Amino acid sequence: MSYEMIAILMFSSMMLMLLTGQRVFGAIGFVGAFAGLMLWGTGGADMPFSAAMKLMKWYPLLTLPMFIFMGYVLSESKIADDLYKMFHVWMGPVRGGLAIGTIGLMVLISAMNGLSVAGMAIGATIALPELLKRGYNKIMVTGVIQAGSSLGILVPPSVVLVLYAMIARQPVGQLWLAGVIPGLMMAVMFIIYIYVRCRMQPELGPVLPPEERNVPMAEKLRLLRAGLLPLVIFAVMMVPFVKGYTSLVESSAIGAMAAFVAAILKGRMTREVFETSVRQTLAISCMFMWIILAALGFGAIFDGLGAVKAIDHLFTDQLGLGPWAILILMQLSFILMGTFLDDTAMLVIVAPLYVPLVGNMGFDLVWYGVLYTITCQIAYMTPPFGYNLFLMRAMAPPEISIRDIYRSIVPFVLVMSFALAVVMVFPQVALWLPDYVYGK
């Protein structure tokens, strides 16, 4: 059997196992291990073993549990609730103000946690009932929460970019900094869209009634202080890193400790909050470590087969495609796979093929990591099986139907597609900040 046919057989077997509902790391790891055993006998066991050792020696991986713990402490201790109260009071007098505040909430939640699921859970449980109660259009606000929560995988500390860094062998710090400007740019685009739409159609986002707006200034300032606490924690964590005073791992430890101390000082660090935060941190960290381990083992088998060279030969020599055409096809394939897979599964499946190919074509792999992440955000919200669509359906109240959820994402997907095009055409949107910080 030719190497190309073996590679196709491995890929199709893995997809088949994923479609049966097997866990991602189990399906990928099993196919990789079985193929290694069949190709090289017992010597094939050295490949996943060396991948495991590589994983254990990867020092930046320590950031993963630190940031996840920080996010869960802030959400479980209800510090995130204070954020929404702040936005509620300060943005209420503006048409669509609560929806704009929800985007602000999502950006800050993303800066706490790095997972889109956390943003979706907080948005659906805290923001959505308040928005519906105050007469906001259900289709618009459903789209707002889905779009805002997708920022969690782009704004640092993005867990997905940590996974990409490990597989693509790129610096985590540069990838996080590369996600800052595109993530904030996308949030600003969402805010502009909401503001303009609500100015044109005031009934979509009415202002708060006077009795809710007339809050004493002392109370407004108290809420502002409470709501900005997560932003202060983020600054305490990231400023020393950007200035070069601390390493990435040290900054993650500072962030986790700052969140823990803040919860204690506010009297919210109960035994239940601590236990839940630790358990969730352990569960998610272990899940990602298993996925990375399976990806590295599978990628080593693919490298040994020369599958990357075969794909490169197919695209460039046989089909005669240029680098940009190949890149666009890759992004379209991510959107297609995103209709039935989550971001980690997509990355693990195609990274062994795509990342070396992108490097061979002369593109910057840090920039490509941002493109991949934005494309994942779009894929999350693309029918029929987008990841965020079903999360929203599970969390939304009964009056919001699946049809409403599908309709709600259309304008936000168009905004995100425009943002993707901007980053593709102007790579410095993503690369300026890491070049500036690391250049110093």
Measured N-to-C along each axis, helices 323-337 and 365-380 cross at an angle, to the nearest 10 degrees, of: 40
Q: What is the mean pLDDT of residues 415-431?
A: 92
What is the pTM (predicted TM-score) of this model?
0.75
Q: Is 205 helix (H, G, I), strand (E, B) or coil?
A: coil
Question: Cis omega (within 30 of 0) on the bond before 157?
Answer: yes
Distance, in Å, from the CA atom of 10 to the CA atom of 46, rounded to the nearest integer, reads 19
Token pair 């900040």: residue? 433
Which DSSP helix (H) or strand (E) runs through 124? none
Distance, in Å, from the CA atom of 7 to the CA atom of 310, rounded to the nearest integer, reads 9
Q: What is the mean pLDDT of residues 182-187?
A: 91
Token pair 């050295």: residue? 46
Q: What is the mean pLDDT of residues 351-359?
A: 79
What is the DSSP-derived secondary structure letter of residue 317?
Answer: I
- The per-residue pLDDT for range 48-92, each reduced to its tens digit, is 777 777 777 777 778 778 877 887 787 788 776 677 777 777 776
pLDDT band at 437 (very low <50, low <70, confident <90, very high): confident
> Taking 60 as the threshold, does the pLDDT of residue 440 lie above it?
no
pLDDT of residue 4: 66
